[in-house]
Amino acid sequence: MLKTQNENEISFGQRLKVVLEMNFNSPEDLAVRLRVPIASVESWIEGTAYPDADVLVAICILYNVSADYLMGFTEYKGLRQTKCS
């Protein structure tokens, strides 16, 4: 069952904004790095749209943050390191 967001939870856009601020980046910086329109990044932060899966993965890699954190499924920000045998 998918977890639904209640009013006390932090939204994807709010989490993205925090990640940008923690890395001293602006929405414009992210747009340039992802090669997407600034309007797209602004709409993600405002919560009126969400990035495609491939863009979400790129954000996670750029900022070393998990998709689960950005989507609100966990409070753990980092990517888990796994060993390949």
Q: Has residue 62 been placed in a domain?
A: yes
Reported confidence tier of residue 1, pLDDT bands at 50, 70, 90: very low
Could you tell me the residue range of the domain that residue 45 belongs to? 12-70
For the chain, the domain total comes to 1
50: in domain: yes
pLDDT digits (tens, 9 = 90+) for 10-69: 899 999 999 999 999 999 999 999 999 999 999 999 999 999 999 999 999 999 999 999
Residue 7: CA atoms inside 13 Å, Cβ hemisphere, count?
0
Burial of 8 (0-12, 13-18, 19+ CB in 10 A): exposed
CATH of the domain at 30: 1.10.260.40
* pTM (predicted TM-score): 0.80
Q: How far apart are CA 37 and CA 85, in angstroms?
A: 40
pLDDT: which is higher, 19 or 3? 19
Does the residue 75 lie in any domain? no
On whether residue 36 sits in a domain, the answer given is yes
